[in-house]
Amino acid sequence: MVLGGVALAGKAVIDRRTAGIQIEDEAIELRSASGLRNILSKNTNVRVHSYNRMVLLTGEVGNESEKALVERFVKSQDNVKSVVNDLSIGPVSSLTQRAKDSVINGQIRSLLIQAKDVHSSAVYIVVERGIVYLMGRLTEQEAKRVTDLVSTSQVSGLEKVVRVFELLSEEDLRRLSAPAKR
């Protein structure tokens, strides 16, 4: 319990979301995933990712009505600010594809960590079917740099890059970066 609290505290320091929003994002993901398991057929693979209450839906569903149902359900959850529905209609991705996606995610994370001019902890990476989704709270300049870095990388299996950023002004970033006053 204490170790988990320390890990969360450490994450809060480097994350551009407040600790409360981080917890809310996790709650949105858990509530949505749990509810969707109860209303969707078994031949679906829906993943819910929330960053600063912006929800990204990835995975596969069987038809347009299931895709719309997922979006409506997630939008109805408490504290959801917006939903980006990038669900694919078709068969569930294979374990091989999911393993490839994990490798791509690791390669992109490594690429961002190695780039000394990028705050890699401010970027949340999701990979689904070779599509790299970049989420986070970044300035326009940071978002462009991260997108360019990932788009021009030579990562095998990368199909395309999709930005799901919340753009911050330079002033907003300064306020976020300022030490808390006591």
pLDDT at 180: 60
Q: Which two tokens stand for residue 171?
A: 């002033």
Contact 136, 16 (CB under 8 A): yes
CATH code for the domain of 152: 3.30.1340.30
Same domain, 8 and 82: yes
- Mark whether 164 and 104 lie in a shared domain: yes
Q: Are 46 and 36 in contact (CB under 8 A)?
A: yes
Q: How far is CA 6 from CA 3, 100, 116, in A?
A: 5, 32, 26
- Print the domain residue range for 33: 2-89
Domain ends where: 89, 106, 140? Answer: 89
Domain count, the chain: 2
Q: Does the pLDDT at position 172 exceed 90? A: no
pTM assigned to the model: 0.86
- 85 and 99 share one domain: no
Position 9 scores a pLDDT of 39
Same domain, residue pair 103 and 161: yes
Query: Would you say residue 179 lies in a domain?
Result: no
Residue that finishes a domain, picked among 70, 89, 108: 89
Do both 83 and 108 map to the same domain? no
Contact 138, 165 (CB under 8 A): yes
Shared-domain flag, residues 72 and 106: no
pLDDT (tens digit, 9 = 90+) per residue, 14-58?
Answer: 789 999 999 999 999 999 999 999 999 889 999 999 999 999 999
Residue range 98-114: average pLDDT? 97
Q: Please state, in angstroms and rounded to a whole number, the distance separating the CA atoms of residues 94 and 14.
A: 34
Query: Is residue 182 situated within a structural domain?
Result: no
User: Could you tell me if 12 and 45 lie in one domain?
Assistant: yes
Averaged over 152-163, what is the pLDDT?
95
Q: Which of 89, 105, 134 is the last residue of a domain?
A: 89
Residue 71 maps to a domain: yes
The per-type count for the chain, helices as H runs and strands as E runs, is: 6, 7
